Amino acid sequence: MWLIEVGSGPSDFAGEAVVNLAKVLEALFGGDSRDEMRTGLHKCGYDDGIIESVFISVAVLRSKLDAAHVRLAALNGDERRQLQVFLDGVLGYFRELLAKLVGDVESGQIVLPSYEMNREDDDELAILISGLSLPLKK
């Protein structure tokens, strides 16, 4: 992920990278439930140690770092460096997971939950977007 590599210091874009990695897990395993993630990762052949130390750690970081929320945590220099080392290493696990899943889905060994975007024509988002406008500048 280029976000991890382009910052000027350790973990400049770590929060954004964590959000994106967590979204991978949510999209693959049907939501933001850590139990659903664990179940899906077990089906992919991962053991509890890797699931917890790699994938669930990413899900927990998502809820604690400032990219997904208003500045929940300010990290000191050592924490930023440790987070950067973790993110540099975690990418390999996510690449492996995605490559494995592509092969398993193609061969029919794994069926991922389907994603359906069910929205009502007049849901809150539709109402908001239909009413979006900016005041005219003077």
- Of the candidate ranges 7-16, 92-101, 126-135, the one whose mean pLDDT is the lowest: 7-16
77-110 residue pLDDT tens: 888 888 888 988 999 999 999 999 999 989 998 8
Q: Which runs of E-coded beta strand occur in the chain?
A: none
Query: What letter would DSSP give residue 136?
Result: P
Report which secondary-structure segment, H or E, holds 3: helix 2-6
Q: In angstroms, how far is the first alpha carbon of the chain from the final one?
A: 42
The pTM of the full predicted model, rounded to 2 decimals, is: 0.73
Residues 6+ apart with CB under 8 A from 76: none
Q: What is the pLDDT of residue 20?
A: 92
Q: pLDDT band for 111, please (50, 70, 90 cuts).
A: confident
Reported as a pLDDT band with limits 50, 70 and 90, residue 35 is very high
The count of other CB atoms within 10 Å of the CB of residue 62 is: 21
Q: Are the beta carbons of 23 and 98 closer than 8 angstroms?
A: no
pLDDT score recorded for residue 21: 94
What does 66-86 look like in DSSP terms, one character per residue? TTSSSS-----HHHHHHHHHH
pLDDT: which is higher, 13 or 105: 105
